[in-house]
């Protein structure tokens, strides 16, 4: 018997984001995308002799152990400097394996239909696509003893992933309520993804990208400013040597949990950065709006402005303060539509939106593969 895993993913960013058919309504995962090799054999042993974030990957016939999920030492940048190499391959295989692990049937070889999201600078670059295919396609891969093969591999433009997640319901693959307007070729929509490294702006018309723009205003810049101000408030904070992604995680969790005070750090070196975050986020939102006025398409010409990605969650209140009804908040759309009870993995949110779009495309591709599996 053969299982078919259908998955959409991106694993070349600071976060690994993926969505698959491993569970009934879909299975989503997002975690810090690190794959640090464990050279000390004792490091992988815990009280129950198992760590959920340690994986054994067969690399060129040799088993190697990797630990993933730490905010420190993230190896992939998500920018044009991405190297599609063995490190990328390892990170991608671990992501796919985590979905295979969630499947009900654990007794058979798994065939994988995958769609990988690529940034604009790499999308439809034949050389890069061949690089990735050479690493992943039509090979037997082994992670934690499970054998799987990627039998079909396709590529998708990252911002269009979010667009597809709004057009289709990933549970049924039927059209959503926004679909008619989003697909109307008379209208231009702006997909805004303020990431950790860059701000990506993509103009979409009739489901096709017609323009794109990147800017420096991103969450990483703001987090570094928050870090510096935290040191000014409490010099001892510097001794923690916290990485920007870990600071970002603490801030995001505080916002998500609705906490009145935003604290970063630990122990005696915890710092209240509530007002600092408020000021910096407000300034970031204003700068992002300025960037929406593109050379080829002015801000007023867009029928809708789609805010997606993890940073859009943190900035949602700042954008809502603009009182512009053209804004479509992916996070808000998903919160109204999906409940955690439906999902064994991560509930769909703005950070998973791109991966859900890739998954929808992968489902379409899988129809052609099923006959041969």
**Percent over 70 (pLDDT), the chain:** 89
Question: Is 324 a member of any domain?
Answer: no
Alpha helices, DSSP H, located in the chain: 86-102, 126-136, 158-167, 179-183, 219-233, 244-256, 274-291, 310-320, 330-337, 353-370
Question: Is 70 a member of any domain?
Answer: yes
Q: What is the domain extent for residue 108? A: 3-161+340-370
Question: Is 108 a member of any domain?
Answer: yes
Question: Is 320 a member of any domain?
Answer: no
pLDDT in tens, 136-166: 999 999 999 999 999 999 999 988 999 999 9
Question: Sorting pLDDT into bands at 50, 70 and 90, what band is 268?
Answer: very high
Is pLDDT at 328 greater than 90 in this prediction?
yes
Distance CA 313, CA 133 (A): 33
Is pLDDT at 76 greater than 70 in this prediction?
no
* Radius of gyration for the alpha carbons in the chain, expressed in angstroms and rounded: 21
pLDDT at 49: 39
What are the Cα distances from residue 182, in Å, to 117, 138, 151, 167, 204?
Answer: 20, 36, 32, 7, 9
With beta carbons less than 8 A apart as the criterion, state whether 242 and 195 touch: no
User: Per the confidence metrics, is the pTM higher than 0.85?
Assistant: yes
Distance CA 346, CA 16 (A): 13
Is pLDDT at 45 greater than 70 in this prediction?
no
Question: Is 104 a member of any domain?
Answer: yes
pLDDT at 371: 67
Is pLDDT at 39 greater than 70 in this prediction?
no
Question: Is 334 a member of any domain?
Answer: no
Question: Is 178 a member of any domain?
Answer: no
Question: Sorting pLDDT into bands at 50, 70 and 90, what band is 106?
Answer: low
Query: Any idea what the CATH number is for the domain that residue 52 is in?
Result: 3.30.420.40
- What is the per-residue burial (b if ≥16 Cβ within 10 Å, else e) of 29-62? bbbbbbbbebeeeeebeeeeeebeebbbbbbeee
Report the mean per-residue pLDDT for the chain: 88
DSSP 8-state class, residue 230: H
Q: Structurally, how many domains does the chain consist of?
A: 1
Question: Is 295 a member of any domain?
Answer: no
């Amino acid at each position: 018997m053969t299982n078919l895993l259908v998955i959409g993913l991106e694993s070349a960013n600071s976060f690994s984001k993926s969505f698959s058919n491993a569970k009934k309504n879909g299975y989503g995962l997002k975690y810090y995308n690190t794959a640090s090799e464990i050279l000390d054999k004792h490091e992988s042993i815990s009280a129950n002799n198992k760590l959920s974030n340690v994986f054994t990957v067969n690399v060129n016939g040799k088993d190697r152990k990797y630990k993933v999920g730490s905010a420190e030492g993230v190896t992939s940048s998500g920018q044009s400097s991405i190297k599609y190499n063995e490190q990328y391959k390892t990170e991608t295989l671990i992501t796919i394996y985590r979905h295979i692990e969630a499947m009900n049937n654990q007794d058979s070889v798994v065939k994988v239909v995958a769609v990988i999201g690529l940034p604009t600078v790499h999308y439809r670059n034949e050389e890069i696509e061949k690089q990735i295919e050479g690493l992943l396609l039509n090979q037997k891969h082994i992670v934690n003893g499970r054998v799987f093969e990627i039998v079909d591999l396709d590529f998708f433009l990252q911002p269009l992933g979010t667009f597809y997640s709004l057009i289709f319901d990933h549970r049924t693959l039927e059209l959503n309520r926004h679909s008619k307007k989003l697909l109307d070729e008379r209208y231009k929509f702006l997909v805004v993804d303020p990431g950790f490294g860059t701000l990506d702006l993509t103009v979409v018309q009739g489901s096709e990208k017609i323009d794109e723009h990147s800017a420096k205003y991103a969450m990483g810049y703001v987090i570094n400013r928050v870090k510096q101000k935290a040191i000014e408030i409490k010099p001892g904070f510097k001794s923690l040597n916290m990485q920007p992604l870990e600071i970002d995680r603490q801030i995001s969790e505080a916002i998500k949990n609705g906490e009145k005070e935003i604290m970063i750090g630990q122990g005696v070196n915890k710092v209240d950065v509530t007002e600092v975050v408020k000021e910096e986020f407000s300034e970031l939102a204003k700068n992002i709006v300025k960037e929406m006025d593109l050379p080829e398409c002015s801000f007023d010409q867009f029928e809708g402005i789609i805010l997606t990605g993890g940073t859009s969650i943190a900035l949602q209140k700042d954008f809502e303060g603009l009182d512009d009804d053209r804004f479509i908040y992916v996070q808000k759309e998903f919160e109204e539509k999906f409940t955690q009870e439906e999902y064994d993995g991560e509930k769909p949110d703005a950070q998973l939106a791109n991966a859900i779009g890739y998954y929808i495309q992968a489902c379409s591709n899988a129809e052609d593969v099923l006959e041969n599996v």
